[in-house]
Amino acid sequence: MTAPTASSSEPGLFSRRVLIAGLLALVVVGLLGTLYLAQRDQIARSGALLEDMRQAQNELNKGFLRLLQADALGADHEAQAGLALIDQAVTTYERHLRQLQGQDAASAEAFQAGARAFRERLAAWRLAPSTHALIELRITFSQLERQAQALDSLAHRQRVALQARGNRLFLVSLAGSILALVWIVTLLVRAVLRERRALEALTEQYRLREASEALFRQLFEEAPVALGLAEPDGRLGTQNARFVELFGYTPEDIPDLEAWWRLAYPDPEYRRAIQERWQTNLATQAPGPIDAGEYSIHCKHGETRIVRVRTMRLSNGLLSAFIDQTEIRRAEQAAREAMQAAQRSFEERGRALDMLAAIAEATQDAIFAKDLDGRYLLCNRAAGRLLGHPPEAVLGQDDRTLLPAAEAAATQAAEQAVLEHGQNRSDELRMLTPDGPRDYLVTRGPLHDAEGALTGVFAIARDISDLKAAEQSRSAIQAARVAQQQRARLALLNQMQDTNAALASVRALNASLEARVAERTAALAAANKELETFTYSVSHDLKAPLRGIDGYSQLLLEDHREQLDEEGRLFLDRVREGVTRMSQLIEDLLAYSRMERRDLYGVPLVLAHVVARVLDERRDELAARGVELDNRLGSETALADPDGLAMVLRNLIDNALKFSRDRQPPRLEIVATEGPESTILSIKDNGIGFDMQFRDRIFEIFQRLQRAEDYPGTGVGLAIVRKAMQRMGGRVWADSTPGQGATFFLELPR
Amino acid sequence: MIHDPNTRPILLVEDNPVDLDLTLRAFARRKLANPLLVARDGQEALDWLPRWAAGEPLPLVVLLDLKLPKVDGLEVLRRFRADPVAQGLPVVVLTSSNEDRDIQTAYQHHANSYIVKPVNFDKFMDVAAQIELYWCLINQPPL
């Protein structure tokens, strides 16, 4: 962008031309002037000559007159004076003759001859003055006078001619001077005009150049694409505002290409590739802009922009245009991702639909949907079975053609109610099927399309006949359990009645106890929910009489020992043992019931910590029995309630110790294995084990495989274990060979 | 008015005659100097409030069963805590229940202690001894 410079030779040339023209004009005027002056001088001289010659003629005439007088008078001096005048006049003539010779040589020669003849006659007269000589002299003089007059006229003619020539010359020189001046002025005017035009053209050119340059600069600066100029030596010229805005780099950041490459392409590998591409593009001699491709440019503020670069060869370097493609590429990427997401969602929906269809086909529940006119829109296999037709035959039909009139009317009424209330409703319904009468739980509800408009009704019918039967049998089992508890208490009472007559007051208390227990157990039998109330009451009320039995037995033994014989004391001991077992049973039952009601929270636990806590509680017992403990726990974790798990472990470890008490030494092995979703903890003993046919029964409440006197226990421990594991989302199972020990497995979620 | 701690009574709120008898016997064996007052239900316990307000000596400690006729133990505790005279009274819940729910509620009503009555008579004697030792001899009662 250099400013245009005017040619420095132009004004010099112009002035030299004017100078030359002026000098030329001066020379012409000088020459003509000189010529004219010389001519005037010659005319003047010719005038003077003519004057001299006329003077000499007068002198001649005067001299001759004096001679005549002298002759007449005889005055000598007159003759002398006349002679001098004549002589002088002849000399003058002779002198002028030289000047006239060039004009007319013949006249001059004649005058010379006349002059010589006169001088001879004069000389002759002087020698011999006679009248004859005088006449002779007079004749000669007349001749000389004629010749002088001829000379005079000749001089006169010459002067006139000269004068005429001088005039002509003057006119010519005047005209020449004017012409020369006009020419010079014309020349000058033309030169000036030409100069001026040249100057104007130059100025215009300069102005246009400036305007175009400003336009270019404005275009460059305000162009909506980023532009940068690289000079051939690798320096970076200018970048426009958009460039700085786009990349953040100012001209100070990127003085040259190297700096630009280093900043814009921080990855050395990528940078090398870019530099090679640049060299290739540079070597390309193709005319027009070069499409240099797309580049990822690292901007000053940290982000990366994708630009398409087009390069143009300019006279002073390479102009690169950076067209920002980032948003386009991002939009493309987003569009691609959205497309993929839509595709995925479509596939997922398809799979969900497939799955729903599979579920509808696989379920034992009858599922169907009808339009607002009661025609079947959908009917799964189970529904087909219920209606007694293949599902395909049902579609498009309504109940009037498929069911007996009464059932069809009832169904229609129920569906109408659902449509009117717009809510789901469930009804229990007994229906006659090919397999006899069955109970169904029918849930009906309105169907809506995507816009929320009512389109029909759906129904799901579940066969609950078996469920109802199971419910009834469950109530029976519960009643059996209550009866069993009652029997246990009766046994206790019987035991007490067996003791002693001294226990009359105790028996009185027992009567009230019995009444209350009977009352409570009746309440318990009423509903499962009341069992909870019962177990809660047990903790208060069942323990109090026990405390009485134990307390008074003890008091009897202590305060009335002497009144009792050995057998009486033994009975009292038995009473107290019974109380201990009863108390333990109550505690276990309470623990079981608590486990059923308590909230158990699954928190991540390191199993080793919980196991260590429980083992520590039994440290003395373990040591006393010389148990070989093989605890192989590491950092395995599981999700469990800390107290719930501790209770489980306490029961299992106590169990293991109890059933391996006769082993020498008893062994206890604790191992944990982490699976992908659960952790399995196993506790293995070398006790008596059990028959695998009882592997499920051992976890049921009050179920015992051993006699109480061999291995004391309430039959609640493992039930508590199973209940707790269920409440914690885990499970428990056992593996054993009789006589070889047992292994209990606890599986807990991770 | 200030009463000598050695003569201030213990209030036992207990409806069960067996427990009451055994408790009294247990304290008798400890040769407890302080008089034992008995309330046989919740209402009888609450009837003490106006008498204390009228100037009768406040008990050193109240031994409160939870399961009581008429007004249950937790309600008695709540009313004691709402009463200006009895609100600072040491109340020890002495009950058969070791239900989490009862323990939690008792402490929410500012019980000072919660003791489960053992079934075994020897242990029950121990508990009586501990209560007497702690609340009548070690603890400094409010005036």
Check CB contact of B67 with chain A, cutoff 8 Å: yes
Binary contact (A580, B22; C-beta < 8 A) = no
Binary contact (A594, B120; C-beta < 8 A) = no
pLDDT in the model for residue A679:
92
Q: Which residues of B touch A550 (CB under 8 A)?
A: 119-121
Per-residue pLDDT for B67 more than 90? no
Q: Which residues of A touch B19 (CB under 8 A)?
A: 544, 547-548
Would you place residue A53 in the very low, low, confident or very high pLDDT band (cuts 50, 70, 90)?
confident
- Averaged pLDDT score across all residues of chain B: 88
Mean pLDDT of A200-228: 87
pLDDT in the model for residue A101:
57
Q: Of A547, A579, A586, which is closest to B124 when you measure between CB atoms?
A: A547
Per-residue pLDDT for A478 more than 90? no
More confident: A617 or A113 = A617
Cα A208 vs. chain centroid, distance in angstroms? Answer: 42
Number of CB pairs < 8 Å for A and B?
Answer: 62
Binary contact (B18, A598; C-beta < 8 A) = no
Q: Is the distance from CB of A686 to CB of A663 less than 8 angstroms?
A: yes
Length of chain A measured in residues: 750
Check CB contact of B35 with chain A, cutoff 8 Å: no
Q: Which residues contact A400 (CB under 8 A, 6 or more apart)?
A: A374, A408
Check CB contact of A541 with chain B, cutoff 8 Å: yes
Nearest by Cα to B10 from B33, B35, B32: B35
Residue of A nearest to B121 (CA): A551
Name the A residues in 486-515 with CB < 8 Å from any B CB: 509
The ipTM of this complex is: 0.80
pLDDT in the model for residue B51:
93
Would you place residue A7 in the very low, low, confident or very high pLDDT band (cuts 50, 70, 90)?
very low
Task: Map residue A750 onto helix, strand or coil.
Answer: coil
Nearest-5° Cα angle at A7, A5 to A8: 105
Q: Which residues contact A545 (CB under 8 A, 6 or more apart)?
A: A509, A510, A512, A513, B18
Q: How far is the C-alpha of A558 from the C-alpha of A576, rounded, in Å?
A: 13
Rounded to two decimals, the pTM is 0.38
Which one-letter DSSP state was computed for residue A376?
A: E
Give the closest-approach CA distance of B8 to chain A in angstroms.
28
Q: Which residues of B touch A584 (CB under 8 A)?
A: none
Phi-psi region of A713 (alpha: psi -120 to 50; beta: other; left: phi over 0): left
pLDDT in the model for residue A1:
40
Per-residue pLDDT for A109 more than 60? yes
Per-residue pLDDT for A501 more than 70? no
Handedness of CA A180, A186, A188, A190 (dihedral sign): negative
Binary contact (A551, B121; C-beta < 8 A) = yes
Give the closest-approach CA distance of B60 to chain A in angstroms.
25
Mutate which of B121, B126, B127 to disrupt the A interface (most A C-beta within 10 Å)?
A: B121
Per-residue pLDDT for A8 more than 50? no
For residue range A408-466, list pLDDT tens digits in order.
Answer: 888 888 888 888 888 888 888 777 776 777 888 888 888 888 788 888 888 888 888 88
Mean pLDDT of A317-329: 84
Q: Of A541, A543, A547, which is closest to B22 when you measure between CB atoms?
A: A547
Q: Pseudo-torsion of CA A594, A597, A599, A602, nearest 10°?
A: 80
Q: How far is the C-alpha of A543 from the C-alpha of B98, rounded, in Å?
A: 11
Binary contact (B96, A544; C-beta < 8 A) = yes
Q: Which residues of A touch B18 (CB under 8 A)?
A: 509, 544-545, 547-548, 551
pLDDT in the model for residue A284:
73
Would you place residue B4 in the very low, low, confident or very high pLDDT band (cuts 50, 70, 90)?
low
Q: Which residues of A touch B120 (CB under 8 A)?
A: 547, 550, 579-580, 583
Q: Which of A10-19, A420-429, A708-717 has the lowest average pLDDT?
A: A10-19
Mean pLDDT of A462-486: 81
Q: How far is the C-alpha of A164 from the C-alpha of A153, rounded, in Å?
A: 16
Q: How far is the C-alpha of A686 from the C-alpha of A668, rounded, in Å?
A: 7
pLDDT in the model for residue A115:
78
Nearest by Cα to B5 from B58, B52, B56, B48: B58
For residue range A488-500, list pLDDT tens digits in order.
Answer: 777 776 766 665 5
Q: Which residues of B touch A555 (CB under 8 A)?
A: 25, 121
Q: Which residues of A touch B25 (CB under 8 A)?
A: 551, 555
Nearest by Cα to A576 from A600, A598, A589, A558: A558
pLDDT in the model for residue B37:
92
Task: Map residue A445 onto helix, strand or coil.
Answer: strand
Q: How far is the C-alpha of B110 from the C-alpha of B87, rounded, in Å?
A: 9
pLDDT in the model for residue A374:
84
Nearest by Cα to A700 from A722, A724, A731: A722
Residue of B nearest to A508 (CA): B18
Largest CA distance in chain A: 252
Check CB contact of B16 with chain A, cutoff 8 Å: yes
Mean pLDDT of A506-528: 67
Q: How far is the C-alpha of A399 from the C-alpha of A126, rounded, in Å?
A: 201
Task: Map residue A8 onto helix, strand or coil.
Answer: coil
Q: Of B18, B66, B99, which is closest to A547 when you measure between CB atoms?
A: B18
Q: How far is the C-alpha of A47 from the C-alpha of A311, rounded, in Å?
A: 95
Q: Which residues of B touch A590 (CB under 8 A)?
A: 98-99
Give the closest-approach CA distance of B91 to chain A in angstroms.
19
pLDDT in the model for residue A3:
39
Q: How far is the C-alpha of A479 from the C-alpha of A275, rounded, in Å?
A: 92
Cα atoms in the 13 Å half-sphere on the side-chain side of A421:
11
**C-alpha distance from residue B109 to each of B75, B76, B80, B85 (Å):** 9, 10, 10, 16
Core vs surface per residue A603-632: b (16+ CB within 10 A) or e: eebebbebbeebbeebeeebeebebeeeee
Q: How far is the C-alpha of A228 from the C-alpha of A243, rounded, in Å?
A: 7
pLDDT in the model for residue B49:
93
Binary contact (A550, B119; C-beta < 8 A) = yes
Check CB contact of B25 with chain A, cutoff 8 Å: yes
Binary contact (B121, A580; C-beta < 8 A) = no
Mutate which of A550, A556, A584, A599 to disrupt the B interface (most B C-beta within 10 Å)?
A: A550
More confident: A743 or A62 = A743
Q: How far is the C-alpha of A11 from the C-alpha of A191, rounded, in Å?
A: 11
Cα A40 vs. chain centroid, distance in angstroms? Answer: 104
Binary contact (B18, A551; C-beta < 8 A) = yes
Mean pLDDT of A261-267: 87
Give the closest-approach CA distance of A655 to chain B in angstroms.
24
Name the B residues in 78-137 with CB < 8 Å from any A CB: 95-100, 117-122, 124
Mutate which of B15, B16, B18, B29 to disrupt the A interface (most A C-beta within 10 Å)?
A: B18
Q: Which of A129-138, A182-191, A238-247, A345-354 has the lowest average pLDDT?
A: A129-138
For residue range A268-290, list pLDDT tens digits in order.
Answer: 888 888 888 888 877 776 667 77
For residue A89, give the amino acid letter: A
Q: How far is the C-alpha of B39 from the C-alpha of B79, rounded, in Å?
A: 15
